[in-house]
Amino acid sequence: MPNVNKLSPERKRPIRDEVYHRIRQAILRGGYKPGEKLQEEALANALGTSRTPVREALRKLEVEHLVSYYPHKGAVVSPVPSDEIDDLYKARAVLEPLVARRAAVRATPEDVEKLRRLLTAAEICVNPDETLDLVEQFNDVLSEISGAYNLAAVSRQIRELLQRVLIFNAPNPERRVEGQKEHTLITDAIEANDPDLAEKYTLIHIENSPRKFKDNTQ
């Protein structure tokens, strides 16, 4: 089962936080499929830790509705809430353009350079997980520029939930290229300190994102 690796001595987080992060990422990135059983002992062995931080992580993920507990079965990965996908995208379409508007007003040349470095790295990256990480770093920098930390935190949580939709769709190289172009247009608008264009291109990017969940776990 385990789709997590042994904890590194050089980790930056405390053990309980790192265990939670690893299991959560594995669920969001499709390493564990909806309905798959999560065995405490197997996870603890894979991570090289005791069962206590694993148990704590699974309970925390239950609160986030990423894990469900069933009698006589234990913890399993929760299903993707397919009936909520459209509403989650509608929420993104409200929040993220606001963040982009604020970023366009506040951005400095140094801020724009950070965004462009991440876009360049994402363009040449071939590892899907690393590409997702770079895109999320792009969004994090955008959020920092905007100063809209509360809006950004909610928006990030929604994007993370929607990662499961992206992962279970067949990889689409054309969409990746389109997404890169859209992020470039957003960055150009921010560099020009044009909040209207930043909002416009952010909304286009969200509207073009894949929305249908294809369950390839059978």
pLDDT digits 0-9 by tens, 13-68: 788 999 999 999 999 888 898 899 999 999 999 999 999 999 999 999 999 999 99
| Domain count along the chain | 2
pLDDT at 2: 54
Q: The domain containing residue 98 runs over which residues? A: 82-207
Model confidence pTM above 0.95: no
In a domain, 91, yes or no: yes
Q: Which candidate, 50, 48, 68, places its Cα nearest to that of 59? A: 68
Give the C-alpha separation, 41 to 8, whole Å: 19
In this predicted structure, what is the pLDDT of residue 55? 95
67/86 same-domain check: no
Same domain, 115 and 162: yes
Alpha helix locations (H) across the chain?
15-28, 40-47, 51-63, 85-106, 109-124, 128-146, 149-168, 173-191, 195-207
Last residue in a domain, options 35, 51, 77: 77
Query: Per-residue pLDDT averaged across 152-162, rounded?
Result: 89
